[in-house]
Chains A and B, each alone.
Chain A
C-alpha cells in the first residue's frame, strides 16, 4: 500500500522558534504534495502545496521544501506562534481522473508562549 510516512508524531516549540515536520513517500507517481492544518473540532484546511518539479515554495512563514532524490518533503514554520498550535498533515495526490489524497499520520504541534 502506498504510504506517506510523517514525523515527528508530536512537536513542542517555543514561540519564535522554527517548527520542522518531515514526510517521506515511496514513489514519484504523484503530482501534488499538499500540507493541511487541522484545529480541534474543525476539518483540515489546505496550508500550501508543492509539485515535485519545484524544490521549495514559501508562503508567509510557511515553507515547503522537496527533495525528489530522497523522496522526502518537509514543512518549516518560521517564527512559530501559539496560534500555529494544531495538527499538521502531509499528503500526496495525483492529477489523474480521481481526486484522492493519501495522508500522513499527522504531527501535533504545540507552540509555547
Chain B
C-alpha cells in the first residue's frame, strides 16, 4: 500500500506570495492532518480534516487554510508568506473511526521563504 504522498517536496517563495501544498493520504484513510515543523517550535498542529470537514484547527493565523476533497486528498494554503513560515510542512493520515494515536506521516514539503 502506498504511503502518504506530499507535493511538492521542496519549494522557494518570496515574502508576500502564496503557496499551495498537496497531500494524498494512504488509500482508505479518511482523516488528514497537517503539521508544521521548525527547529524552534518543533511539531505544531495546523488542522485536521475528516470527510471533507475541518474538525480542529491549531493556533495559526488565518493565512493558513486547508481543505479536503471527496477522495480524501487534501491541500493547505498559506497566503501572504512571511519569513517565519519557512518550515517543513507535514501531512499525516489515519484510518477508520477508532484512533489509537497513530498518524502516518508523509516526507513533507520543505518551504523556504526569502
B72 is an interface residue with CB less than 8 A from chain A: no
CB <8 Å contact, B102 and A46: yes
Q: How many A-B residue pairs have CB under 8 A?
A: 68
B31 is an interface residue with CB less than 8 A from chain A: yes
Interface centre among A34, A41, A44, A49 (most CB of B within 10 A): A44
CB <8 Å contact, A99 and B105: no
For B, the interface residue count at a CB cutoff of 8 angstroms equals 27
Prevailing SS type, chain B contact patch: strand
B residues less than 8 Å from A95 (CB atoms):
98-99
Bin the interface of chain A by size: 20 to 34
A70 is an interface residue with CB less than 8 A from chain B: no
| Contact pick for B105, options A43, A100, A102, CB 8 Å | A43
Interface residues of A in 77-113 (CB under 8 A from B): 89, 91, 93, 95, 97-106
Q: Cα distance A32–B94 when bound, in Å?
A: 14
Q: Cα distance A98–B99 when bound, in Å?
A: 10
Chain B contacts to A: CB under 8 angstroms:
4, 31, 33, 42-45, 48, 50, 55-56, 58-59, 90, 92, 94, 98-108
